[in-house]
Amino acid sequence: MWFLFGIVTIAGIALLVRELRTPALWAGEDARLESGEEYAFLEPESKGKQTGLLIGVSCPPGFHLTLKPESNVDRFFKRLGVSTEFATRDREFDDRVYIVAEDRRVGAVLYREAEVRAGLLRLFRLDTAGLQLRAIECRNGRLWVVYVGSSARPAALIAREVVPHLSAFAKALETRAGSAREAPEAPDRFAEKASVLAAIAIAVTLNGFVQWYRSDFFVFPSIIDDRRWLTASAALAFLLLYALVMTSLVWLKRSARTHLVILEVGLAGIFGCFGTALAAVRDLNAALDASAPQVVDVKVVAKHGRGRRSFACRVSVQDWQDEYRWRIVRLPAEVYDPLPDVWMGHAWLRLEVRQGAMGIRYVADAAVIPAPAEASQP
């Protein structure tokens, strides 16, 4: 049941993240230049300090692209042949700007419109006194520039230099919007695939946290063969991460987004896959277990309590197979709280231990019992 819960959780979170990533999620103040060009701007703040500036203009819907400063990472993956971007044959532009788009209409505009290309390049070189250009984005009928940092210059002055170049780009896109010959087979097909893959990677990561909290609230099964559990989980996590990366490589087919998605999937997935694998191995090990329960009475040698944000309590018990070894067992509060004084030797538990379908032993249930008569004697 819990394994299916994990699958449903990943699917649900992926759909939610996919919806949240789709639109241009910002709304700013509307303004107009003296020349009559309309634009919107937003000055994000944190703790009363400006953290960036967004300036946007309207553009035809159906375009999904990003222009960002080309980094060494972008060049590395292009040399490897993992990613491919449009080439404008303008050396300065191609060396300075990385085009994250697969729509041939965008490639045609940037290749043929030298003035538009020069205007965009000016935005990448623009001195904004403290602001750094992160990207030029286009989503859902809006084209905007993203700056990070802070500047003493008013947004209206910066907009005077930015808006004309954005508007020229938007008009060029509008001209190509109805071109059947240059239209993609399916608009934004690679952008859609990239969003789906990134959403799955984020969902896997969030699922790891959800499963951790769920296992902390529902304590049993409580794994006692930690080494086997971690080894099996690490192997499964590697397979999950490998599947995500290979799916990205095959599905995106050397698009301009391929390495960006792989890096996002890898960074998010390396933690999410391991957290998800821990829960999956634990749940499958218990759900498919057909072994007979072994009932053992053990002495509690230490009570560790629980953390500030934890529901599970932990105790150390004397190993029932090796008297010189301790094992950590997780207990719910209703079992932990009634435990008597450990130091008097009166704290004893009756554990229901199972072998597990994968050979990973776990405690399926626990109860407080009185100390045996021989243990109570001095």
- The answer to whether 353 touches 327, Cβ cutoff 8 Å, is no
Residues 49, 97, single domain; the answer is: yes
Q: What percentage of residues in the chain have a pLDDT greater than 70? A: 87
CA–CA gap between residue 101 and residue 109 (Å, rounded): 12
- The answer to whether 329 touches 348, Cβ cutoff 8 Å, is no
What's the DSSP call for residue 371?
P
Indicate whether 265 belongs to any domain. yes
CATH of the domain at 325: 2.40.50
pTM for the full model? 0.72
Q: Report which residue type is found at 377.
A: Q
Indicate whether 138 belongs to any domain. yes
Residues 78, 122, single domain; the answer is: yes
Indicate whether 348 belongs to any domain. yes
325 pLDDT band, cuts 50/70/90, is confident
User: pLDDT, tens digit, for every residue of 72-123?
Assistant: 999 999 998 888 889 898 999 999 999 998 888 899 999 999 999 999 999 9
Residues 128, 171, single domain; the answer is: yes
> CA torsion, points 360, 363, 364, 366, in degrees to nearest 10?
180
* Full residue range of the structural domain in which residue 208 is found: 195-287
pLDDT given for residue 203 in this prediction:
80
312 pLDDT band, cuts 50/70/90, is confident
Q: Tell me which H or E stretch contains 305.
A: strand 294-305
Residues 302, 339, single domain; the answer is: yes
Which neighbouring-strand residues pair with 302? 316
Each as own residue / partner, the long-range contacts of residues 205-209 (CB below 8 Å, 24 or more positions apart, any chain) are: 205/268, 205/269, 205/271, 205/272, 205/275, 206/13, 206/272, 207/6, 207/9, 207/10, 207/13, 207/272, 207/275, 207/276, 207/279, 208/271, 208/272, 208/273, 208/274, 208/275, 208/276, 208/278, 208/279, 209/275
Give the Cα-Cα-Cα angle 17, 23, 29 (nearest 5 degrees).
130
pLDDT given for residue 4 in this prediction:
60
Residue where a domain stops, chosen among 177, 208, 242: 177
327 pLDDT band, cuts 50/70/90, is confident
User: pLDDT, tens digit, for every residue of 265-283?
Assistant: 888 778 888 888 888 898 8
CA–CA gap between residue 108 and residue 112 (Å, rounded): 6
Calculate mean pLDDT across residues 216-236.
88
> CA torsion, points 370, 371, 372, 375, in degrees to nearest 10?
-170
Q: Which two tokens stand for residue 167?
A: 């508007």
User: pLDDT, tens digit, for every residue of 6-16?
Assistant: 566 666 655 55
Q: Which two tokens stand for residue 262?
A: 């792989």
Question: Could you count the other beta carbons within 10 Å of the beta carbon of residue 58?
Answer: 15
Calculate mean pLDDT across residues 323-339.
85
CA–CA gap between residue 64 and residue 58 (Å, rounded): 13
CA–CA gap between residue 281 and residue 249 (Å, rounded): 27
322 pLDDT band, cuts 50/70/90, is confident
Residues 38, 144, single domain; the answer is: yes
pLDDT given for residue 55 in this prediction:
93
Calculate mean pLDDT across residues 185-206.
71
Q: Which two tokens stand for residue 269?
A: 């997935």
Residues 256, 336, single domain; the answer is: no
CA–CA gap between residue 298 and residue 210 (Å, rounded): 32
Residue where a domain stops, chosen among 117, 146, 177: 177
Residue where a domain stops, chosen among 287, 312, 328: 287
Q: Which two tokens stand for residue 173?
A: 């896109």
Residue 19 zone, left/alpha/beta (φ > 0; ψ -120 to 50; rest): alpha
Residues 37, 162, single domain; the answer is: yes
180 pLDDT band, cuts 50/70/90, is very low
- The answer to whether 288 touches 224, Cβ cutoff 8 Å, is no
Indicate whether 272 belongs to any domain. yes
pLDDT given for residue 185 in this prediction:
43
Residues 331, 280, single domain; the answer is: no
Calculate mean pLDDT across residues 124-143.
86
Q: Which two tokens stand for residue 243?
A: 């599947």
Do the strands 313-318 and 294-305 form a parallel or antiparallel pair, or are they unpaired?
antiparallel
Q: Which two tokens stand for residue 199?
A: 């959403």
Residues 154, 46, single domain; the answer is: yes
Q: How many domains does the chain have?
A: 3
Indicate whether 9 belongs to any domain. no
User: pLDDT, tens digit, for every residue of 286-304?
Assistant: 989 999 999 999 888 888 8
pLDDT given for residue 189 in this prediction:
66
Residues 90, 219, single domain; the answer is: no
Indicate whether 8 belongs to any domain. no
Residues 204, 164, single domain; the answer is: no
| C-alpha distances out from residue 256 to 85, 246, 261, 263, 264, Å | 5, 16, 10, 13, 14
- The answer to whether 106 touches 69, Cβ cutoff 8 Å, is no
Indicate whether 43 belongs to any domain. yes
Residue of 266, 138, 140 whose CA lies nearest to 197:
266
- The answer to whether 197 touches 247, Cβ cutoff 8 Å, is yes
Residues 52, 125, single domain; the answer is: yes
Residue of 190, 181, 185, 182 whose CA lies nearest to 64:
190
Indicate whether 216 belongs to any domain. yes
Question: Could you count the other beta carbons within 10 Å of the beta carbon of residue 82?
Answer: 16
